[in-house]
Amino acid sequence: MTVTRGLEGVVATSSSISSIIDDTLTYVGYNIDDLAENASFEEVIYLLWHRKLPTQAELEKLNKELADNAELPKEIIEHFKLYPIDKVHPMGALRSAVSLLGLYDEEADLMESEANYRKAVRLQAKMPAIVTAFARIRKGLEPIAPRKDLSFAANFLYMLSGKEPEPIAVEAFNKALVLHADHELNASTFTARVCVATLSDVYSGITAAIGALKGPLHGGANEAVMKMLTEIGSVDNVDSYIREKLAKKEKIMGFGHRVYRQGDPRAKHLKLMSEKLTNLTGKPEYYEMSTQIESIVTGEKNLPPNVDFYSASVYDSLGIDHDLFTPIFAVSRVSGWLAHILEQYDNNRLIRPRAEYTGPGMQQYIPVQQRGQ
């Protein structure tokens, strides 16, 4: 057996959902640049689940299904109120809530494809409500019910703040959702597929994926970027802060990628939105700091920014709490997770790799009384 650390370069499955070839990301053959500039997130959900863009009638049907399933069971809201709010990270709350949702779904353990699709719709629809409800409850505010007349992106921002968002905010958030929707066989997607390959249920698969996304080397990187920007504080401090990090060989969050060699194609879209939003809000500092950090890190280490780097300043410009950045990643990526889960079910084989043993050779059991001290 040949060992590959982190399974780097190992092809573990086949999939028709998304691809990364020569640093180009596509969803079902559509270039991410094309989708980021033109598609609604709802269209992307449909594309990932059905492998084609929807007709107007198909899109309207999906929009209605999402709207009809967007409210949370009251038990989930009451459960949030029992949490030790000052100690619970929103990703922990999201992970627990998704698991709990399965207890209130009568179809949770049904494995028929139609039932699994209905569960996918319910999960996708409820993710924004979970994140926004917890975000408000921990501040002593009541959750805001979703509106059926708003888009997926607009509804999230509305449920978070209670105010109908400006078009530029909706555009930025929709673009972020599109860019994060799927990314081939990343850590959380692989986790979801491993989980449901045992024929476990959809809720278990999504709960497992959220657990993987929670780590700072995966989805948590965008929150870590914001923490870094906050620590730096101003443009004047960027040079000394980053160069000190580089001298100590410390990781600069938001740079480099296991798969992309010439740069993450998603990053440029969020960089443009960051510039637009920070100038609009009259607080361009984080964008200016980010561009200066990029100049140093890319120039010194030849590491271009990834999707996490500029998403941090975009979300901050939208007035979103910093520890909600990774849950927002999940609100988008659940569309991809669900696509992969449904694909895994359709052509399932238990995922069971091997490990190279590096422990001692054959040993003989010795009774405890005869073992030395």
Q: Which helix H or strand E contains 19, and what residues bound it?
A: strand 18-21
* 313: nearest Cα among 296, 334, 297, 294: 294
Q: Are 339 and 202 in contact (CB under 8 A)?
A: no
Does the pLDDT value for residue 261 go beyond 90?
no
Active site residue ranges? 257, 308
Q: Percent of the chain, pLDDT > 90? A: 87
Edge-to-edge strands of the sheet including 18-21?
Answer: 18-21, 24-27, 30-31
Question: What average pLDDT does range 55-75 have in this prediction?
Answer: 97
pLDDT tens-digit series, residues 100-157 = 999 999 999 999 999 999 999 999 999 999 999 999 999 999 999 999 999 999 999 9
Does the pLDDT value for residue 86 go beyond 70?
yes
- For CA atoms 18, 23, 29, 30, the dihedral sign is positive
Q: Domains of the chain (ranges plus CATH)?
A: 15-214+323-346 (1.10.580.10), 221-317 (1.10.230.10)
Residue 290 identity: S
Question: What single-letter DSSP state applies at residue 83?
Answer: S
* 332: nearest Cα among 134, 234, 189, 167: 189
* 274: nearest Cα among 321, 316, 306: 316
Provide the pLDDT for residue 373: 66
Q: Count Cβ atoms within 10 A of the Cβ of residue 334 and give its class: 0-12 exposed, 13-18 middle, 19 or more buried.
A: buried
Question: What average pLDDT does range 22-35 have in this prediction?
Answer: 97
pLDDT tens-digit series, residues 316-363 = 999 999 999 999 999 999 999 999 999 999 999 999 999 999 999 999
Q: Are 161 and 104 in contact (CB under 8 A)?
A: no
Question: What average pLDDT does range 274-279 have in this prediction?
Answer: 92
Provide the pLDDT for residue 226: 94
Does the pLDDT value for residue 208 go beyond 70?
yes
Q: Is 30 helix (H, G, I), strand (E, B) or coil?
A: strand
Q: Is 24 helix (H, G, I), strand (E, B) or coil?
A: strand
Question: What average pLDDT does range 224-240 have in this prediction?
Answer: 95
Does the pLDDT value for residue 280 go beyond 90?
no
State the average pLDDT for the chain: 95
